[in-house]
Structure 1
Amino acid sequence: MNRWKALIVLGTGQFLMVLDASVMNVSISQLVEDFDTEVTAIQGVITLYTLVMAAFMLTGGKLGDMFGRRRMFTVGLVIYGIGSGLTAIAPELWVLALGWSIIEGLGAALVLPALAALVAGAYHGRDRAVAYGVIGGLAGAGIAVGPLLGGWVTTYLTWRLVFAGEVVLVAAMLSLISWVPSGPAVTRRTRLDVGAVVLSAAGLALIVLAVLQSSSWGWLAPRNAPFTVLGFSPTLFVIALGGVLLALLVRLEHSREAAGKPVLIRIGLFGISGLRSGLVTLFNQNTILLGLFFVIPLYLQVVLGKDAFETGLKLLPVSVTMLIASMGGSVLLRVASPRTIVRIGFLVLLASIVWLLSTIEPQLDEASFAWAMAVMGLGMGMLASQLGNVVQSSVGEADRSEAGGLQYTAQNLGSSLGTALIGAILIGALAAAVSSAIADDPRISETVAQQAGVRIEAGLTFVPAGDVASALAETPVPPAEAAAIVEDYQDAQIAGLKVAVLAAGGIALVGLFCTGGLPARREPRTEAAPRPHGT
């Protein structure tokens, strides 16, 4: 039992980091009311949190190498706890942004890379596979349990209690920090590659910002964009600018490696097939997971009218089966390689998506939906049980913090893209379906259909059908035609949701074909890139 003490602390840290964001997402409406602001302002706070983590994750990993992983894990927890306390008592929106988005985001950027490296350092062989299975399962459980816990606390108590509870949890983790092995001693402290820090932070932040804002700005045709570029939405241009900065980062790091100078990230690590394939698969996994966890709550809350707590209950089967499958990853390694397990996981995930498509109807089939969620959790759990172990086992001890930074950067980018991309697909499919339905509906006059088409072109949102009916009641549209439009909108909602879920299935299919570099042996061997002198 003693050997699992470290996992109690590290697993709690992983659960806490994921739980935090999912709780905030279901508390948006209450936050709008409490701070007397708009939804866009709260979404901006959430976006800023993601940006801070994406921008400083690689730097957080490097600081773990420079000052010690357990030390940075501890410092990150302290910073995170301070941010949580400030968030719990925030009197104004800017204080919420400071406490949650900036301070907690910086704390998470220190905690997560160190956490990944500390797990790898504390466990070996099958114990490491078990540990990463638990970590992956707890990450998925946090995503699924967050809406349940956040919905209940927000509905019946106050969202502030969640963040106050985080302070207590952080204090408990700090009191048990001695359970975590300290990792390799820091024998020589190098200087931080400041130029690389700036390039990586700016490049990653620009990409994440553009992806997150794509649903508002538009991908090509500008919608609510703050500016345009040659008449187009700035989304792709901002992404391209971020890519240019990352390309400059690669050139800078190559030149510094060649000169024997310390670097933020060794580009040679990307030559390791297991690491490269593991990062790509992690990116795909989180794109699918967060995309589906954006679409499914919309179905449950907007179409079916469930509240946040009821939505959390419906998502509970995912959490349970994902945790079980993740913790069973080491058992699966006795009969199959990580590559085989991950591929089977993608196939199970695809099967669950097909099943889910059959359950998205105006009336919920409770049993069928629950089973589809349970199967989805199994597929996700099989992926989660292997990928963290694959990434960390692909590198040597000296590179674990860098690999941890890359690991959580890939996950964060996937999470951002999943929500933005699947959300954009959903809105696009909704607009196309409702436009077609209204144009072909004989109950709706040509004049009203043209007016509706103009409104749809100006921008459409995924709202309850009752809101559409209320909006139409304030227009001169005849009641019979208004009722027909509402009915067409309801049908289009189901069609749009199915297209979005199908898109997630397409990403899973792509992910299946990106697994060729994963270890094909039951026990993945350590494969480390040669370290140039001076790094």
Structure 2
Amino acid sequence: MSAGSAVETRSSWLPLFVVMLAQVQLAFNAWNVSITGITEDLGISPTTVGLANTASTFAVSAFLLLGAKITAKIGPVLAFRIGVIIPALAAILIATAQDGSVLFIAQSITGASNAITLPALTIIIAASFQGKQQASAIGYFAASIPLAQVVSLLIAGQFASTIGWRWSFVLVASIGLINFAASFLLKPVPPQKNLIVDWTGGMLAAISIILISFGMSVMNDWGLLTASGNAPISIGEFSVVPFFFVAAVIFAQLFLSRTRKRMAEQKVPLVNLDIVGTRSERATVTVMGLMLFVGTAVSFLMPLYMQVVQGFVGIEVSFAVIPYTISIFIANTLVSRLYSRFAPRTIASVSMTVVTLALVWLSFTIANDWGQASVIIGLVVLGLAQGCVVALVFNSLLTSAPAENAGDVGAIRGLTHNLSGSAGIAVASAFAVGLLTSSAYAAANDSEVFTPEIVEQINFDNVNFFTNAQLEQVLTERTDATEEQIAFAVEEFTESRLTALRTTMLVLGGLAALAIVPARRMPGFQKEDLYVGYPESDEKKD
């Protein structure tokens, strides 16, 4: 009897409930709808709030690989407890903050603790469920992220508009306390007490990831090649950003070289490279990275479109993106039902094709009227396909790896999620702003309405996705433009802004199309092999 046809013993769903609630805590984002309240309360700029928020992303990305080994050494249940109680305490710090420095400290602490939580969640799933039940659990687990996004959009948006932004972080702290209490219901998973952690490798990886993350976060403001006027440092006329990326590659190569050496010497590496040692596994990670890059970019661009083009605020944005987010949630939870009928490579290929078509559809249909049914339908279709891919690739990686490497799979998943997401936002922003700048500059120079003197007064280095009202204010205060010239500028800028967003969506569709190729290299096993791992005949170890 094959393992795929063996009768499975179904386990209690309690561990899944606990893990999902922990993921809701980690993914709960009250920042985007609380910016106005935080800036007014603490007297800091919106940019400072944004940087404080990204401090968590930097920390969790930098220490995820190290966190996976720490989790294995102390045990996933203890790591889970630490990983939910520390962010809860950090949320209390934010809720009671009186100055901006507290935000940076609290978010850095939260990110560092999340670096052990994410691998712990994956290990608990792997240890608690098997076979088809494990596949369903992974789908529900993946669905907890969009679930948290829906909840945070609704609750935090409402709190920010009524009782105040601080109560959102009180809620996060409360969820953390509930998670800590619920952790005592989990069955213990034996720790690997004798595990030797590669601290040197951990530092090499952390430095590389921090350099990449920081470079992507400042790329838009400092300039990618030529230093912008906002760059605090530069090398002549050149931006320092490329040097961050070069240094990151050097440290990454040092880390990989050290890891391969430790594996050859039969020592425990910081991350077992065998989990991405086959063509199918590398293809799976590639599809995951491209999907998260595109998905995060869209999740950033659409609210930007709603707020700038449509003029939506607060709770209006929350309600507008809910259909898209719910569609991701539905696909995450239901895609496991396809596993017994279709191979992973088939599901992934079809899903990425649908993602591509949905993005192309959106690039041609978004306009200055959010009420279009075509836009909403396009977002829902995109969300369904995106949700299928995200749950599928996680399941494919976890089922292919030995149980003892589940923490490494969780670390790779979390690292890919954070780096691809950060890159998606940074690159999409830079591309869209670059298009907008070039279009606005060309329109101003080619226009008979603008004089050369007015063109010189406009600072094209600081062109961004302003609303029409903001643009009018800038032109009135900083230039000698007449009312006729301002009206013309607003009209041209409105068209350029929409064109930039449409073109960026089309380019993202092209990137999604590129993922179809690696998707075809994902596992092609039949249903009886699905929960056993990759067939040996389908793999070639390098």
Which band: TM-score by shorter chain?
A: over 0.9
Q: Structure 1 residues 35 and 61 mapped into 2: Cα distance closer, same or farther (>3 Å)? A: same
Tell me how far apart the structure 2 counterparts of residues 18 and 339 of structure 1 sit (CA, whole Å).
28
Can you give the 5+ residue segments of structure 2 that lack an aligned partner in the other structure? Answer: 1-9, 537-542
Structure-to-structure mapping, 1:320-331, within 5 angstroms: 320-331=326-337
Q: 1:192 offset after TM fit, Å? A: 1.8
Structure 2 residue aligned with 1:510: 514
Kindly provide the CA deviation profile for residues 342-369 of structure 1, in whole angstroms up to 9, marking residues without a partner as x: 2221122122212322332122234222
1:203 aligns with 2:208: yes
The count of residues paired between Structure 1 and Structure 2 equals: 522
Q: Mean Cα displacement is larger for which, 167-176 or 300-309?
A: 167-176
1:316 aligns with 2:325: no
**Structure 1 residue aligned with 2:505, among 501, 506, 509?**
501
Tell me how far apart the structure 1 counterparts of residues 261 and 367 of structure 2 sit (CA, whole Å).
57
Q: Mean Cα displacement is larger for which, 462-471 or 269-278?
A: 269-278
Q: Mean Cα displacement is larger for which, 421-430 or 154-163?
A: 154-163
**Structure 1 residue aligned with 2:158, among 122, 127, 152?**
152
Structure 2 residue aligned with 1:15: 24
Tell me how far apart the structure 2 counterparts of residues 344 and 382 of structure 1 sit (CA, whole Å).
10
Kindly provide the CA deviation profile for residues 58-103 of structure 1, in whole angstroms up to 9, marking residues without a partner as x: 111111211111221121112121112222211221112212x112
Q: Structure 1 residues 451 and 401 mapped into 2: Cα distance closer, same or farther (>3 Å)? A: same
Amino acid at match of 2:498: I
Tell me how far apart the structure 2 counterparts of residues 524 and 236 of structure 1 sit (CA, whole Å).
43
Structure 2 residue aligned with 1:486: 490
Structure 1 residue aligned with 2:4: none
Structure 2 residue aligned with 1:377: 383
**Structure 2 residue aligned with 1:31, among 34, 38, 62?**
38
Kindly provide the CA deviation profile for residues 369-422 of structure 1, in whole angstroms up to 9, marking residues without a partner as x: 222221111111111231211111121011111111111101110110011000
Contact 1:207 1:242 (C-alpha < 8 Å) held by counterparts: yes
Tell me how far apart the structure 1 counterparts of residues 463 and 192 of structure 2 sit (CA, whole Å).
58
Amino acid at match of 1:445: T
Partner-residue secondary structure (3-state), 1:328: helix
Contact 2:224 2:241 (C-alpha < 8 Å) held by counterparts: yes
Tell me how far apart the structure 2 counterparts of residues 168 and 353 of structure 1 sit (CA, whole Å).
38
1:98 aligns with 2:105: yes
Contact 1:73 1:111 (C-alpha < 8 Å) held by counterparts: yes
Partner-residue secondary structure (3-state), 1:65: helix
Q: Mean Cα displacement is larger for which, 285-294 or 509-518?
A: 509-518
Tell me how far apart the structure 2 counterparts of residues 121 and 418 of structure 1 sit (CA, whole Å).
33
Structure 2 residue aligned with 1:73: 80
Tell me how far apart the structure 1 counterparts of residues 453 and 89 of structure 2 sit (CA, whole Å).
58
Amino acid at match of 1:139: I
Partner-residue secondary structure (3-state), 1:421: helix
Tell me how far apart the structure 2 counterparts of residues 369 and 519 of structure 1 sit (CA, whole Å).
34
Structure 2 residue aligned with 1:468: 471
Partner-residue secondary structure (3-state), 1:513: helix
Q: 1:451 offset after TM fit, Å? A: 4.1
Tell me how far apart the structure 2 counterparts of residues 269 and 377 of structure 1 sit (CA, whole Å).
28
Tell me how far apart the structure 2 counterparts of residues 386 and 250 of structure 1 sit (CA, whole Å).
27
Amino acid at match of 2:147: A
Q: Structure 1 residues 468 and 18 mapped into 2: Cα distance closer, same or farther (>3 Å)? A: same
Q: 1:485 offset after TM fit, Å? A: 1.0
Amino acid at match of 1:5: L
Contact 2:454 2:480 (C-alpha < 8 Å) held by counterparts: no
1:125 aligns with 2:131: yes
1:432 aligns with 2:438: yes
Q: Mean Cα displacement is larger for which, 43-52 or 267-276?
A: 267-276
Tell me how far apart the structure 2 counterparts of residues 167 and 188 of structure 1 sit (CA, whole Å).
30
Partner-residue secondary structure (3-state), 1:411: helix
1:403 aligns with 2:406: no
CA RMSD of aligned residues (A): 2.0
Tell me how far apart the structure 1 counterparts of residues 512 and 55 of structure 2 sit (CA, whole Å).
28
Structure-to-structure mapping, 1:37-436, within 5 angstroms: 37-99=44-106, 101-183=107-189, 185-186=190-191, 188-223=193-228, 224-229=230-235, 231-436=237-442
Partner-residue secondary structure (3-state), 1:26: coil
Give the TM-score normalised by structure 1: 0.93
Contact 2:275 2:397 (C-alpha < 8 Å) held by counterparts: no
Q: Structure 1 residues 376 and 272 mapped into 2: Cα distance closer, same or farther (>3 Å)? A: same
Q: 1:331 offset after TM fit, Å? A: 1.0
Can you give the 5+ residue segments of structure 1 that lack an aligned partner in the other structure? Answer: 530-535
Amino acid at match of 1:468: L
Q: Structure 1 residues 187 and 34 mapped into 2: Cα distance closer, same or farther (>3 Å)? A: closer
Contact 1:81 1:170 (C-alpha < 8 Å) held by counterparts: yes
Q: Which runs of 4+ in 1 moved over 6 A?
A: none
Amino acid at match of 1:44: L
Kindly provide the CA deviation profile for residues 468-522 of structure 1, in whole angstroms up to 9, marking residues without a partner as x: 1112223321221121111111111101111221222122112222223321124
Kindly provide the CA deviation profile for residues 252-294 of structure 1, in whole angstroms up to 9, marking residues without a partner as x: 1222223333321123333133432222222112111111111
Tell me how far apart the structure 1 counterparts of residues 193 and 11 of structure 2 sit (CA, whole Å).
31
Tell me how far apart the structure 1 counterparts of residues 429 and 67 of structure 2 sit (CA, whole Å).
30
Q: Structure 1 residues 182 and 396 mapped into 2: Cα distance closer, same or farther (>3 Å)? A: same
Tell me how far apart the structure 2 counterparts of residues 82 and 5 of structure 1 sit (CA, whole Å).
25
Partner-residue secondary structure (3-state), 1:192: coil
Partner-residue secondary structure (3-state), 1:24: coil
Give the TM-score normalised by structure 2: 0.92
Amino acid at match of 2:200: G
Q: Structure 1 residues 179 and 513 mapped into 2: Cα distance closer, same or farther (>3 Å)? A: farther
